[in-house]
């Protein structure tokens, strides 16, 4: 089974690493901006030793402003690029999901009443008439998993990843839920390992990838220890 404590520790370790990396970078940038800051305060008439003091105070604020500008430009550029590449995809999917929400709610209500076969028929009808959408597939996967239809849940999660314009967040969700199914009710550790490797490969440098790598390393160590005992 997935070691949740180890997974959480890996996430916390990655967050600490990123914090200290950002702190060191901020300190370096602030140091590099001390001299320009002194020049700026001199232009405003500050002379003598006060120049250094004001320069040291101004440099961190200048570094923070620089990081804020760069972060805003990066986010704006990513949004513009996404809109350029996919000018209407997100809106179309959202509109379809809103239109299908009553049907999904009806399926969930039927499952709650014990009419699971009818709920499954509704999802099949949605798929045949409208195709796949992430929101509908997520709802189907969660409902099927809750009702013990684990193979159907697995199938819905796989369909999410097969969609042409699936977002990284949706892909990450589907992969996590597949790992949960393989390590839990489906009891397929081989496929779980495949999904852990995929998680590490597809999202390098993220806390999720760090946790997946830690779990893979734990499993290798456990196999080695078991082999030595034999």
Domain that holds residue 152: 89-229
Q: Same structural domain for residues 140 and 68?
A: no
217 and 172, same structural domain? yes
> Do residue 130 and residue 175 come from a single domain?
yes
Work out how many domains the chain is built from and give that number. 2
Residue 10 lies in a domain: no
In whole angstroms, give the CA distance from residue 30 to residue 22. Answer: 12
3 found inside a domain? no
Do 72 and 172 share a domain, yes or no? no
Predicted confidence (pLDDT) per residue in 119-150, tens digit: 999 999 998 988 888 999 999 999 999 999 99
The helix (H) or strand (E) run that includes residue 188 is none
Q: Is residue 56 assigned to a domain? A: yes
**pLDDT tens, residue by residue, 150-179:** 999 999 999 999 987 789 999 999 999 999
Residue 215 lies in a domain: yes
Other C-beta atoms lying within 10 Å of the C-beta of residue 222: 10
Digit-coded pLDDT (tens) for 75-111? 444 444 334 433 434 455 667 777 788 889 999 999 9
Phi, psi of 229 (to 5 degrees): -70, -30
| Under 8 Å between Cβ of 166 and 134 | yes
Based on the domain organization, do 81 and 94 belong to the same domain? no
Is there a single domain that holds both residue 128 and residue 156? yes
Of the residues 36, 61, 85, which one is the last residue of a structural domain? Answer: 85
5 inside domain: no
In whole angstroms, give the CA distance from residue 66 to residue 52. Answer: 21
User: 200 and 123 share a domain?
Assistant: yes
- For residue 39, is it within any domain? yes
């Amino acid at each position: 089974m997935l070691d949740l404590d180890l997974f959480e520790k890996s996430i916390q370790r990655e967050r600490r690493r990123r914090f200290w990396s950002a702190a060191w970078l901020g300190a370096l940038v602030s140091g590099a901006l001390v001299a320009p800051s002194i020049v700026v305060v001199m232009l405003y008439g500050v002379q003598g030793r006060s120049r250094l003091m004001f320069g040291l105070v101004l440099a961190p604020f200048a570094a923070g402003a620089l990081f804020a500008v760069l972060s805003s430009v990066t986010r704006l550029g990513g949004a513009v690029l996404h809109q350029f590449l996919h000018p209407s995809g997100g809106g179309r999917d959202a509109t379809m999901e809103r239109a299908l929400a009553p049907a999904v709610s009806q399926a969930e209500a039927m499952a709650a009443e014990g009419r699971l076969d009818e709920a499954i028929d509704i999802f099949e009808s949605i798929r045949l008439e409208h195709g796949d959408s992430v929101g509908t597939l997520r709802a189907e996967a969660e409902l099927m998993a809750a009702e013990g239809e684990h193979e159907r849940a697995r199938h819905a999660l796989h369909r999410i990843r097969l969609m042409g314009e699936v977002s990284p967040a949706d892909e990450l969700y589907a992969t996590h839920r597949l790992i949960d199914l393989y390590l839990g009710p489906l009891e397929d550790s081989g496929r779980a390992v495949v999904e852990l490797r995929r998680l590490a490969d597809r999202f390098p440098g993220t806390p999720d990838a760090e946790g997946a790598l830690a779990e893979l390393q734990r499993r290798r160590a456990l196999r080695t220890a078991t082999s030595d005992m034999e």
